[in-house]
Amino acid sequence: MPTYRQAVDDFLAGRRIAVAGVSRDGGQPANLIFRKLRDAGYEVFAVNPNADQVEGVPCYPDLAAVPAQLDAVVAATPPAGTEAVVRQCRELGIPRVWMHRSFGQGSVSQEAVKAGAEQGMTVLAGGCPMMFVDPDPVHRCMRWVLGMTGGLPAPLA
């Protein structure tokens, strides 16, 4: 089983990443993650069934509508929505999903974690890509605190 950092590196090695849960409100965590990945050179796709466009780009209603084969998905949805994201990943053969969480429950759903692991997917159930992709001081500090307090769980693969 890979370490958390190995799973993060594997996740971020993919170049096509969807962010499920982006919002028309640009201040939401999903939007911040979307922009960070885009600015770092990833090909990023916005997913939200209630928006046609966000962050100045097309927004897709679900993962099946994304016009590219995805390497990974960040789920920044309510936990109940994360189960649907994992189900879509399984159906589309997307091997990696990262359930966003800094403090509190975030997007982590234990049912979704279990379903993804049973399918052999790499599941990161906590943390945030912003803690690893050119992190700002706040996210660097969050990574350190979560690492020291056990808040970065082992990946399931």
Could you give the C-alpha distances from 3 to 7, 17, 122, 139, in angstroms and in order?
6, 21, 11, 20
Sheet of 122-125, strands arranged across: 53-54, 57-60, 43-47, 16-20, 72-75, 96-99, 122-125
Report the SS3 class of residue 82.
Answer: helix
pLDDT, one tens digit per residue, over 19-38 is 999 998 877 889 999 999 99
Query: Residue 138: what pLDDT?
Result: 85
Query: Residue 27: what pLDDT?
Result: 77
Give the global pTM.
0.92
pLDDT, one tens digit per residue, over 88-143 is 999 999 999 999 886 666 888 899 999 998 989 999 988 889 988 888 888 888 88
Virtual torsion, Cα 22, 54, 26, 39, nearest 10 deg? 90
Distance CA 45, CA 36 (A): 12
Give, in words, the CATH class of 4-149.
Answer: alpha beta
Question: Which has more pLDDT, 156 or 72?
Answer: 72
Distance CA 36, CA 92 (A): 25
Q: What percent of the chain has pLDDT over 90?
A: 59
> Does the pLDDT of residue 150 top 90, yes or no?
no
User: Which tokens is 88 given?
Assistant: 């879509």
What mean pLDDT is reported for the chain?
A: 89
Distance CA 130, CA 34 (A): 10
Beta bridge partners of 98: 74, 124
